[in-house]
Amino acid sequence: MWLRGLFGGLFFLFLLCSCVALFVLHSLYFIFRTASQTEKTESKTVHDDQLFIPALVICNRMPFSQDGLNNVNVNLRQDSALRYLLEWTNPSLREAADYVAPSADLMNQGQNTVLQYITQSTRNQTIQNMQYQCQSVINSCTYQGIQLSSFDCCRNLLSMIPSTNGLCWVWKDSTMWQNSTGINRQFSITFQMTRNSWFSTYVPTHPGVDIYLREDGNDVMRMATELENPIRLLDKRGVRLQMRKTKKADIRRTSCGYALGDARRSDEHAFKNNHTNYLMCNMLVAMRYCSCHPLMAELIHYDPSSYRDFLLRVTQTSVCSVDAYDNCARRYIDLTRIENWEEDIPKDLPGYEDAKKCRNDNQRSCLITSYPGTIEGYDLPEEYRTTQDYVSRLVLEYSTMRTTEILVSKDPNIYELLSFIGYNMALWFTVGHILWSMFWYATGLCCPKRQSSNRISPEIRRKRSVSSPEPIVVEHRPSQDVASGDT
């Protein structure tokens, strides 16, 4: 008996340690996967009853007209001043593959001319006055075979915004939607700018117009840094995009929820509660450590009463020159661009902790809507190719009524991790319980307990009924006195 109990205790300890070790080893696999920040992408397609024509962010790569420059000062038409203006208002020009750096003397001359005639007190309004008017750029629009004039088409212009890709317009017509596909459902917009309005010795050929597609045009802060995948329209050329709608939700961040609907609601909540100021926060950091403010800080639209600290800092610092922006401020602004959201903040960046706090305190978009598709370029009709004006056309049409929904999440996420750990615990301890039961049953068969010979048998007694007691017999005997008297 004692030997059976000893083996049973040793086997139980061995089984318990084995189950714990296997459970830990099996769970470590999923824990290490979570720690390594692996991710997974899930996609599905859903049918939409109607699809709207997306908002167009129109960025003219030559935004200043000759008349607009003349209205400020004729000296701004000089090549040096125009070159400086273009690079000052569009920081992305220096990122182009064909960019050729100008001489330092040319840029210094242009900077002196520009700052002489565009002072800080009136800079915002002056730059707006130098730009093209809408009807001088948009020739016409066509939707489902109905042509709109330049005036009617420009009525849908929502706002003018500065961005890291230059000075842009936001165009959106909320009445343009379709419930089926086909060539009769096309939308087209034609751009035309007279040669005299842009031609100069520095700009002998118009550089074109960049178009970005957005689902809406409400949040100007996000559009300033979230423009990607431009459609470039060159002179005398047309582009047709057979597009499909794609929604991508990044739920690796806990603030974005756990589904596509959560990501959309999270963005809406952040916009309503003024938590989408990542760009403004980083510009404040740039002002502190660069001793100047980016030009975008003066041009961007915001409520001065709600951002008094930002307005005060802008008025107390001078605007960054092109060189100062490249040498200092660009690093802070580039952190807010959508392509750099997942990049680590350089630890050698002055104000590293401040830049990190800006990223943590301000929500970046959880849901990104894009319109990928097949792009086809073609030559415009002969009537447009014979003119010296800049002319281009963009044609948009949906190739499908189905929307692709993409969900990017951690692999595994926190719920899957807890589920895996729970499953592992149930698996290995259930196996251990089964092995222990089999061991105990087997030892019971091969090593049965001995039967004791001096067992005490229980005494069996008859039960008597209380309800029917036995009758009591009373024996009657005559008294001895009566018997003797008779004698």
Q: Tell whether the model's pLDDT for residue 207 goes beyond 90.
A: yes
Average pLDDT on 442-465 reads: 57
Q: Quick one: pLDDT at residue 473?
A: 52
Cα gap 67→31, rounded to integer Å:
65
Q: Tell whether the model's pLDDT for residue 333 goes beyond 70.
A: yes
Q: Which residues pair with 166 in a beta bridge?
A: 163
Task: At 222, list the tokens.
Answer: 């996000």
pLDDT band at 25 (very low <50, low <70, confident <90, very high): confident
Percent pLDDT > 70 in the chain is: 89
Instruction: Compare 431 and 43 and report the one with higher pLDDT.
Output: 43
Q: Quick one: pLDDT at residue 249?
A: 93
Cα gap 229→284, rounded to integer Å:
28
C-beta separation of 300 from 224 below 8 A? yes
Average pLDDT on 151-169 reads: 92
Single out the residue of 193, 207, 157 nearest to residue 390, CA to CA: 193
- Each residue of 214-225: pLDDT tens digit? 998 888 888 899
- Each residue of 256-271: pLDDT tens digit? 988 899 999 999 888 8
The number of domains in the chain is 1
Q: Tell whether the model's pLDDT for residue 463 goes beyond 60.
A: no
Show the domain range for 32.
1-38+412-432
Q: Tell whether the model's pLDDT for residue 460 goes beyond 60.
A: no
Residue 269 lies in a domain: no
Single out the residue of 280, 281, 327, 325 nearest to residue 299, CA to CA: 280
Least confident stretch, 37-46, 122-131, 344-353: 37-46
pLDDT band at 236 (very low <50, low <70, confident <90, very high): very high
Q: Quick one: pLDDT at residue 79?
A: 92
Q: Tell whether the model's pLDDT for residue 454 goes beyond 70.
A: no
Secondary structure (H, E, C), the chain: CHHHHHHHHHHHHHHHHHHHHHHHHHHHHHHHHHHCCCEEEEEEEEECCCEECCEEEEEECCCECHHHHHHHCHHHHCHHHHHHHHHHHCHHHHHCCCCCCCCHHHHHHHHHHHHHHCCHHHHHHHHHHHECCHHHCEEEEEECCEEECHHHHHCCEEEEEEECCEEEEEECCCCCEECCCCHHHCEEEEEEECHHHHCCCCCCCCCCEEEEEECCCCCHHHHCCCCCCCEEECCCEEEEEEECCEEEEECCCHHHCCCHHHHHHHHHHHHHCCCCCHHHHHHHHHHHHHCEECCHHHHCCCCCCCCHHHHHHHHHCEECCHHHHHHHHHHHHHCCCHHHCCCCCCCCCCCHHHHHHHHHHCCCCCEEEECCEEEEEEECCHHHHCCCCEEEEEEEEECCCEEEEEEEEECCCHHHHHHHHHHHHHHHHHHHHHHHHHHHHHHHHHCCCCCCCCCCCCCCCCCCCCCCCCCCCCCCCCCHHHHHHHC
Residue 17 lies in a domain: yes
Q: Quick one: pLDDT at residue 393?
A: 97
| Mean pLDDT of the chain, nearest integer | 86
Q: Tell whether the model's pLDDT for residue 88 goes beyond 80.
A: yes
pLDDT band at 349 (very low <50, low <70, confident <90, very high): very high
Instruction: Compare 394 and 7 and report the one with higher pLDDT.
Output: 394
Q: Quick one: pLDDT at residue 1?
A: 58
Q: Tell whether the model's pLDDT for residue 212 goes beyond 90.
A: yes
Residue 141 lies in a domain: no
Average pLDDT on 417-439 reads: 81
- Each residue of 270-293: pLDDT tens digit? 888 888 889 999 999 999 999 999
Residue 142 lies in a domain: no
Tell me how far the alpha carbon of residue 110 is from its chain's centroid: 40
Q: Quick one: pLDDT at residue 455?
A: 53
Residue 23 lies in a domain: yes
Q: Is the dihedral of CA 266, 269, 271, 276 positive or negative?
A: negative
Instruction: Compare 71 and 425 and report the one with higher pLDDT.
Output: 71
Q: Tell whether the model's pLDDT for residue 461 goes beyond 70.
A: no
Q: Tell whether the model's pLDDT for residue 138 goes beyond 70.
A: yes
Residue 265 lies in a domain: no
Q: Quick one: pLDDT at residue 150?
A: 94
Tell me how far the alpha carbon of residue 225 is from its chain's centroid: 13
Least confident stretch, 188-202, 372-386, 430-444: 430-444
Cα gap 416→278, rounded to integer Å:
32
Residue 19 lies in a domain: yes
Instruction: Compare 93 and 419 and report the one with higher pLDDT.
Output: 93
Task: Please give the model's pTM, rounded to 2 decimal places.
Answer: 0.81
Q: Tell whether the model's pLDDT for residue 357 goes beyond 90.
A: yes
Q: Quick one: pLDDT at residue 486?
A: 47
Q: Quick one: pLDDT at residue 129?
A: 92
Average pLDDT on 418-436 reads: 82
- Each residue of 293-330: pLDDT tens digit? 999 999 998 888 888 889 999 999 999 999 999 999 99
Average pLDDT on 474-479 reads: 50
Instruction: Compare 23 and 234 and report the one with higher pLDDT.
Output: 234
Q: Quick one: pLDDT at residue 220?
A: 84
Residue 30 lies in a domain: yes
